[in-house]
Structure 1
Amino acid sequence: MTIQPDRRDVLVGAGAAIGTVVLAGCAAEKTEPAATPAPPEVLARTAEVPVGSALVVDGIVLTQPRPGEFTGFSAVCSHAGCTVSKVDGAQVICPCHGSTFGLDGAVLSGPARAPLTPAPITVRGDSIVAG
Structure 2
Amino acid sequence: MQQAPPQTAAQPSTPAKQPVSQGTTGAEPKPPAPAALAKVADIPAGGGVILKEQSLVLTKDASGKVCAFSAICTHQGCVVTDVGDGTINCPCHGSKFDASTGERVAGPAKSPLPAVAVEQRDGAIFQA
Relative to the length of structure 2, the TM-score reads 0.75
Greater share of residues in helix: 1
| Equivalent-residue separation in structure 2 for 1:98 and 1:41 (angstroms) | 32
Instruction: Give identity over the alignment, percent.
Output: 33
Q: Which residue number in structure 1 is paired with residue 61 of structure 2?
A: 65
Contact 2:70 2:116 in 1 (8 A): yes
| Equivalent-residue separation in structure 2 for 1:46 and 1:4 (angstroms) | 81
| Equivalent-residue separation in structure 2 for 1:5 and 1:60 (angstroms) | 75
Q: Which residue number in structure 2 is paired with residue 92 of structure 1?
A: 88
Which residue of 97, 106, 110 corresponds with 1:109? 106
Moved more, 72-81 or 46-55: 46-55
How much is the aligned-residue C-alpha RMSD, in angstroms? 2.7
| Equivalent-residue separation in structure 2 for 1:5 and 1:30 (angstroms) | 40
Structure 2's unaligned 5+ residue stretches are none
| Equivalent-residue separation in structure 1 for 2:122 and 2:89 (angstroms) | 29
Counterparts of 1:1-131 in structure 2, within 5 Å, are: 1=1, 2-3=3-4, 5-6=6-7, 9=8, 11=9, 14-15=10-11, 18-19=12-13, 22-23=15-16, 36-58=30-52, 59-103=55-99, 104-131=101-128
| Equivalent-residue separation in structure 2 for 1:74 and 1:120 (angstroms) | 10
Deviation at 1:66, TM superposition (A): 4.8
> Secondary structure of 2:13's partner?
helix
Structure 1 stretches (4+) deviating beyond 6 angstroms?
none
Relative to the length of structure 1, the TM-score reads 0.74
Contact 2:46 2:84 in 1 (8 A): no
Which amino acid is 2:109 matched to? A
| Equivalent-residue separation in structure 2 for 1:119 and 1:83 (angstroms) | 15
